[in-house]
Amino acid sequence: MSTTGATADPLAALGSLPGVAESVESVRKAVDRVYGHRIMRRRSNEITSEAALRGARGSGALSGADWALEEVRRRTDFSGDDEARTMGAALRLTAEAGQLLSVWRQSPLRVLARLHLVAAASDSDEVGRPRQEGEPVDEPLVELPLPSAAEVSGRLDGLSELIIAGSSAPALVTAAVVHGELLALRPFASHNGLVARTAARIVLVGSGLDPKSVCPAEVGHAELGRAAYLAALDGYVSGTPEGMAAWIAHCGRAVELGARESTAVCEALQRGAA
Query: With bands split at pLDDT 50, 70 and 90, how would you rate the model's confidence at 274?
Result: very low
Tell me the range of 79-88, 135-144, 227-236 where mean pLDDT is highest.
227-236
* Tally of CB atoms within 10 A around 146: 16
Task: Please determine, for residue 9, whether its predicted confidence score (pLDDT) is greater than 80.
Answer: yes
Q: How far is residue 55's CA from residue 216's CA, in Å, rounded to a whole number?
A: 5
Q: pLDDT (tens digit, 9 = 90+) per residue, 202-259? A: 999 999 999 999 999 999 999 999 999 999 999 999 999 999 999 999 999 999 999 9
pTM confidence score: 0.95
Q: Which helix (H) or strand (E) holds 248?
A: helix 241-273
Rg (CA), the chain: 18
DSSP 140: S
